[in-house]
Amino acid sequence: MIKTSLSAGTLALAALAAAGSALPSASAQIRAPMVQANAESAPVGYASMNGGTTGGAGGATVTVGNAADFVRYATSASPYVIRVNGTITLSGMQDVASNKTIIGVGTSGRVTGGGLDLDSVRNVVIRNLTFTGAGDDAINVQDGSTNIWIDHNDLSNARDGLIDIKRGSDFVTVSWNRLHHQDKSMLLGHSDGNASQDTGKLRVTYVHNWLDGTTQRHPRVRFANPVHVFNNYYVNNSGYGAASTENAGVLVENNYFENVEEPTSIQEGSSDPGNIRAVGNHLVNSGTPVTRNPGAVKAVPYPYTAEAGGAVKATVTAGAGVGRI
């Protein structure tokens, strides 16, 4: 799934393993270090399920360079592929309607001042954009939104979070993004008191992201099980890497941790602890990942191919961020 060079036989083996194994890692084919494709034409992981995530495919393609045009197409009831060529300056959280692809042109697409709000929507793709200086979140996914793919973006300097997913949202993939110059990075589940809406939801795949000197929440998970965190590059994260709380189940698999004292955490703030299974991670000048009740982390429900942890740094730094699709 991750490597475009996979044969049909390899994909079939991965699918058979996923169907027949009780352990999450058994659904993966582990590959030795190699050059890896970094621009999938469709999402890996959860956003490939539940009917898939295609964004505005089938609708008209438009190119925008100012906020007025961007808002007009982003809020339309019709499907659109919206190409962003220039800087879109927003004053707050801007709603995005269902069935949209929002994609930057080359390295020129930028969103500043505000962020994108995906509220009770379905089938949205956000790719190849630079987000900086948001007055709240850079990207907020909430209120039961499903089938969201956030891919190949550069995100920094938001007042709150960079990519927050909450309130019963589901079937999301966050891939190939570079996050930097930020404290709170990626929240998954906003409140210890929201179990009724979040339990059985908030299923997210985090893959091939570059967590570049950000402090915490990579991600910070409540309730969801399983959340899949694999093949990400963590470097100089002064708080912690991935956290599981409120009985969540998180598979932390084949990541590369460099200068990260606390790669994983099972308790943050006043939240009750969560569960973590950690396998195949590569550690450079980093602490030992903390685990808890690894058998409680459910099996990942899709086939995938995980690159060996030691190769992840080279792959991610060569492929994450804008201008690489």
Please report whether residue 170 resides in a domain: yes
CATH code for position 229: 2.160.20.10
Please report whether residue 3 resides in a domain: no
The domain total for the chain is: 1
pTM score: 0.90
Tell me the per-residue pLDDT of 13-22, one tens digit each, with 9 for 90 and over. Answer: 333 333 333 3
Segment 289-309 shows an average pLDDT of: 98
Q: Is the pLDDT of residue 103 over 60?
A: yes
Please report whether residue 200 resides in a domain: yes
Please report whether residue 2 resides in a domain: no
Please report whether residue 126 resides in a domain: yes
Please report whether residue 47 resides in a domain: yes
**Which domain, by its residues, includes 211?**
8-319
pLDDT of residue 137: 98
Tell me the per-residue pLDDT of 201-215, one tens digit each, with 9 for 90 and over. Answer: 999 999 999 999 999
Please report whether residue 324 resides in a domain: no
228 confidence band (pLDDT: 50, 70, 90): very high
Tell me the per-residue pLDDT of 243-266, one tens digit each, with 9 for 90 and over. Answer: 999 999 999 999 999 999 999 999
Tell me the per-residue pLDDT of 117-162, one tens digit each, with 9 for 90 and over. Answer: 999 999 999 999 999 999 999 999 999 999 999 999 999 999 999 9
Q: Is the pLDDT of residue 99 over 90?
A: yes
Residue 196 CA to residue 86 CA, distance in Å, equals 42
Tell me the per-residue pLDDT of 230-245, one tens digit each, with 9 for 90 and over. Answer: 999 999 999 999 999 9
Query: Looking at the annotation, which residues are catalytic?
Result: 217
39 confidence band (pLDDT: 50, 70, 90): confident
Please report whether residue 122 resides in a domain: yes
